[in-house]
């Protein structure tokens, strides 16, 4: 971004997107960026890592942080990791976007509210999926109730999937950023590597295709990522905890795994704008999701102090 001339009122800053699982945080981020950065599915806990999504305009650079959904009911090292990943984000941002789903608060929303009560940064309430609320008159009491719990800088009803009112949300976010030049180069969209994005796309296809059959205890590791002039060669391992889980993912005569590979390859070719050759294997690593050493070897804890666990 060295060639860009900044106006005097240019703003830059970090924005945390916080909320319970499956509330639409990743869908919101993807819409804002105009780029499929954060994977999405109907299965809770789709997002496991803290993701940086960078949007640069002529007036501001907003550095969005999509976090794993805050939750209380799941146990084990990987779920502890996801909660810590989400909570650590709140320490270093300039503004927080608290995303809630429609008109019903769950115990996980209440947990998020408890954490946000301790935050000093401005909080913007984004009431998502308002397009699915048939009786809009019940929306106002819902918002008033939430406003008694937390002091919001702004309240913005949105539909992340359709993009309704998202531009208005962005305007409010920008107003809370620092007067500063951009933190990242103009062309940069994320801090994640192509290898990481490939592994996430594979995991997304697994979650979408297998749905409820898919065990929580899966991870994807990209062993090889070789980029040539006209093709990218990728080799990935899908880790599970038990042999019966391996059978579910492979499917009858390998049909399920082939379909996962096909859909992941198509998405990768769209992402990298290059032909992709993808190989996938399924392997068993017992108890990996509750084993800190195994989690670290699979790329978890990189941004956190593991002594906290």
| Integer Rg of the chain from CA | 20
The residue among 49 and 23 whose pLDDT is bigger is 23
Residue 297, pLDDT > 70, answer no
- pLDDT tens-digit readout, 97-136: 999 987 778 888 888 898 888 889 999 999 998 888 877 7
Residue 261, pLDDT > 70, answer yes
Decide: 23 and 99 in contact? Cβ < 8 Å.
Answer: yes
Which of 203, 217, 206 is CA-nearest to residue 77?
Answer: 217
Q: Which residue has the tokens 């294997």?
A: 281
Give the domain ranges of the chain. 11-179, 194-308
Which of 83, 145, 136 is CA-nearest to residue 108?
Answer: 83
**Cα(35)–Cα(189) distance, rounded to whole angstroms?**
9
194-308 falls under which CATH superfamily? K homology (KH) domain (3.30.300.20)
- pLDDT tens-digit readout, 157-188: 999 999 999 999 999 999 999 999 999 999 89
Residue 33, pLDDT > 80, answer yes
Decide: 123 and 114 in contact? Cβ < 8 Å.
Answer: no
Q: Which residue has the tokens 């869908």?
A: 27
Predicted local distance difference test score (pLDDT) of residue 73: 52
Q: What is the mean pLDDT of the chain?
A: 82
Decide: 295 and 301 in contact? Cβ < 8 Å.
Answer: yes
The residue among 76 and 266 whose pLDDT is bigger is 266
196's tokens: 């990481």
What percent of the residues of the chain are helix, what percent strand, and what percent coil, each to the nearest 5? 40, 25, 35
**Cα(71)–Cα(20) distance, rounded to whole angstroms?**
6
Domain 11-179 has CATH 3.40.50.300: yes
The residue among 88 and 128 whose pLDDT is bigger is 128
**Cα(40)–Cα(85) distance, rounded to whole angstroms?**
18
211's tokens: 């749905």
Residue 291, pLDDT > 80, answer no
Q: Which residues contact 55 (CB under 8 A, 6 or more apart)?
A: 32, 33, 61, 62, 64
pLDDT band at 204; cut points 50, 70, 90: confident
Bridge partner list, 16: 65, 96
Question: How long, in residues, is the chain?
Answer: 309
Sheet with 219-227: strands ordered across:
219-227, 231-240, 275-284
Q: Could you tell me what percent of the chain has a pLDDT over 70?
A: 78
């Amino acid at each position: 971004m060295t060639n860009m001339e900044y106006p005097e009122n240019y703003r830059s800053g970090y924005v945390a997107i916080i909320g319970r699982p499956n509330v639409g945080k990743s869908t919101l981020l993807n819409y804002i960026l105009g780029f499929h950065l954060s994977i999405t599915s109907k299965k809770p806990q789709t997002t496991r890592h803290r993701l940086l999504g960078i949007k640069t305009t002529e007036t501001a650079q907003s550095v969005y942080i999509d976090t794993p959904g805050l939750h209380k009911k799941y146990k084990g090292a990987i779920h502890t990791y996801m909660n810590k990943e989400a909570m650590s984000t709140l320490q270093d941002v300039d503004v927080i976007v608290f995303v809630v789903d429609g008109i019903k608060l769950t115990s996980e929303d209440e947990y998020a509210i408890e954490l946000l009560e301790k935050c000093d940064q401005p909080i913007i309430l984004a009431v998502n999926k308002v397009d699915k609320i048939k009786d809009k008159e019940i929306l106002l009491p819902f918002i008033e109730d939430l406003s008694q719990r937390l002091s919001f800088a702004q309240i913005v009803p949105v539909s992340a999937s359709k993009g309704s009112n998202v531009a208005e949300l962005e305007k409010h976010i920008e107003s809370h950023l620092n007067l500063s030049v951009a933190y990242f180069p103009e062309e940069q969209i994320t801090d994640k590597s192509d290898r990481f994005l490939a592994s996430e796309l594979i995991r997304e296809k697994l979650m979408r295709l297998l749905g409820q059959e898919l065990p929580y205890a899966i991870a994807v590791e990209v062993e090889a990522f070789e980029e040539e002039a006209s093709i990218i060669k990728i080799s990935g391992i899908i880790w599970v905890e038990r042999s019966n889980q391996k059978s579910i993912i492979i499917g009858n005569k390998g049909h399920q795994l082939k379909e996962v590979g096909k859909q992941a390859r198509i998405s990768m070719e769209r992402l990298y704008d290059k032909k992709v050759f993808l190989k996938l294997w399924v392997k068993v690593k017992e108890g990996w999701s509750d084993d800190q050493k195994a989690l670290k070897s699979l790329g978890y804890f990189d941004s956190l102090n593991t002594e906290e666990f």
